[in-house]
Amino acid sequence: MYQYTEFDKQFVRARAEQYRDQLERWQAGKLTDDEFRPLRLQNGWYVQRYAPMLRVAVPYGDISSLQLRALAKIAREYDQPDAALLREAQEKQLALGEVPVPGGTPVVTRLKHGYGHFTTRTNVQFNWIPLDKSADVMELLASVGLHGIQTSGNTIRNITTDEMAGIAPDEIADPRPFAEILRQWSTLHPEFAFLPRKFKVALNGTPEDRAALGWYDIGLQLRRSEAGELGFTVRVGGGMGRTPIIGTVVREFLPWQHLLNYIEACIRVYNEYGRRDNLWKARIKILVKAEGQRYIDKVEEEFRAIVEQDGGPHTLTEAELDRVSASFVNPELHPPVRKGADAHLHAIVRADAEADPLYDRWLQRNVRPHRNPQLRAVTLSFKRLGYAPGDATADQMETAAALAERFSAGEARVTHEQNLLLPWVHQDDLPELFAAARKAGLAKPNIGLLTDMIACPGGDFCSLANARSLPIAEAITQRYQDLDEEFDLGDIRLNISGCINSCGHHHAGHIGILGVDKDGKEWYQVTLGGSDGSELSGAATPGKVVGPSFSAAEVPVVIEAVLDTYRRERRATEDGRQETFIATVRRVGIDPFKAAANAARFTEREVA
């Protein structure tokens, strides 16, 4: 992974000092709440329903075992509400009622603390750290090169890319050096710290879009020109929220040397012309949609001026790309050597694993091919009953750190699907890793299956949420605990957001669940057929609503009805396998699913 320079380290420490200065001025009454809010947001500090939330940046998901241990320490020592606050919060959440599970135990909210949460944008969040400890936490983070810079606010946010970046066998080029170049360029950019709205950039390095580029404010697809030169196809103006829009290609081919010049033009035009009068219309997608070609022309004009009149000071050189690329030190790889008792032990572990039907399923779902044929990329599943999707306790983060150290050269990656990926696992170590991960409860072979669902923290924590996400996620997880059934259902993306801000990417889910507020009660809209842009899911598109919203109690039953419809409608494919859920939805349309979903309502309600 990227090795921080002395400059990088010192910069992050300076940021922690700056934050302490700001916090202390706020505590002393020298900054009003309104003046302090954007400052703390630009360091990742929100104030939520009951307590502050901290969002720690994990640039393009890359995290070291040392950093994981620091996050574990924060979870253990700082993610701790006082008893009265926790009691009050718990009572209020219980009052929201339970979600029944067909044939199972009703789900109620049980607030936990002392854990971190992996997000869809590869950040890590904490929910209970008191604000008066926030500067201490920033210093602790800085000591391991972590921070919360621009994880919130109307800024350029954490840059994301494919979790297999740099190790995928089918890569056009490694997107990580460009992601790092963008991280540096966007960090404390003086001109773009108060944009009309938040701004998210993603890169993808393989022919398949694995980074949901169409959904980003700027999506950068690495490609080669006919002449073999490396560059990007640039999309601008994608986004979720109230108005889901897939980004427009504004440049078919941008030579990589001009990456920063062109992005500067895209964002400058947005900073000048983006709407600031209405929060819901302030994202760049609205500007691009409204202006169309005029936006593109303006960007091209500004890009030319940056290069020709300003002299293109940020034009990238071979030397800079080489320098940054060289900072991504690939670990030295030596196959595990096992002699004597070790070899004997390995044989036992291997035989145990191979006798375990779960191991085969784990190899199918959690282990992926690597650029280096000797290696594998292995996903530790943080989707298991009893934990919210993406939640990791202090102990579990430490265990993950130990697994990364033992099996993956001390490196892990936070994935968009809220799991942790180990990128450097030797194939001979797979039985040992399986055994160790299983012992830690992180070997559930459900990657890409129904229970590998995405969910935002929702109404249990977030003050923006209209409804809770986590009890819905838990109810569905509880209902689908039979692995045979899950494997039979196959690849499905189920995404849950507690409100239209879409942190749970419900628009892009094959099945999307969205919390909505009606009469102060929790309701849920269900969508079908959404896509992130991957090969499995098809061209990026928002899902279609199946009908009026459902009560919390109805949701698990409705999801079951939708999945039963799939099992009824699906066909065998040519290779003798079953058609996937999304393929069936595409082929038969959403009507049969809609009918089944609406028939599963508890009571007939008038269709508004």
Helix (H) or strand (E) holding 318: helix 318-327
DSSP H or E stretch at residue 517: strand 511-518
> To the nearest whole angstrom, how small is the minimum distance from the Cβ of residue 35 to another protein?
6
CB of 595 to another protein, least distance (A): 48
What is the layout of strands, in order, in the sheet containing 218-224?
160-161, 201-204, 218-224, 230-236, 248-255
Nearer to another protein, 17 or 91 (CB): 17
> In a 3-state reduction of DSSP, which class is residue 47?
strand
Residue 107 one-letter amino acid: V
User: At 544, phi and psi to the nearest 5?
Assistant: -105, 140
Query: Which tokens hold the place of 137?
Result: 């936490």
**Closest CB 320 distance from another protein, rounded Å:** 5
Nearest distance from C-beta of residue 291 to another protein, angstroms: 15
Nearest to another protein of 194, 280 (CB atom) = 194
The 3-state DSSP composition of the chain as helix, strand, coil percent (nearest 5) reads: 40, 20, 40
Q: Please give the residue ranges that form the binding site for another protein (CB under 8 A).
A: 7, 10-11, 14, 17-18, 21-22, 25, 30-31, 35, 38-39, 154, 184-196, 260, 268, 271-272, 276, 305, 309-311, 313-314, 317, 320, 323
The separation between CA 512 and the C-alpha centre of its own chain, rounded to angstroms, equals 16
Taken as a whole, the chain contains a residue count of 608
25/371 with CB nearer another protein: 25
Minimum CB separation from another protein for residue 22, in Å? 6
Between 69 and 268, name the residue whose CB sits nearer to another protein: 268
CB closer to another protein out of 26 and 407: 26
How far apart are the two ends of the chain, measured CA to CA in Å?
Answer: 53
Going by C-beta distance under 8 Å and a sequence separation of 6 or more, which residues neighbour residue 555? 99, 472, 475, 476, 513, 524, 526
- Residue 196 or 459: the one with the smaller Cβ distance to another protein is 196
By beta-carbon proximity to another protein, the closer residue of 10 and 374 is 10
Sign of CA dihedral 406, 59, 442, 54: positive
Q: In whole angstroms, give the CA distance from residue 172 to residue 174.
A: 7
Measured from the CB atom, the residue of 268 and 376 that comes closer to another protein is: 268
Judge whether 542 and 508 are in contact, CB under 8 Å. yes
CB of 192 to another protein, least distance (A): 7
**Which residue number, 16 or 449, has a Cβ lying nearer to another protein?**
16
> Contact 116/74 with Cβ under 8 angstroms?
yes
Query: Minimum distance between the CB of residue 344 and another protein, rounded to whole angstroms?
Result: 52
* Least spacing, CB of residue 183 vs another protein, in Å: 9
Count CA atoms closer than 13 A to 12's CA, side-chain side: 21
- Contact predicate 378/27, CB 8 Å: no
- State the minimum distance, in angstroms, from the CB of residue 153 to another protein: 9
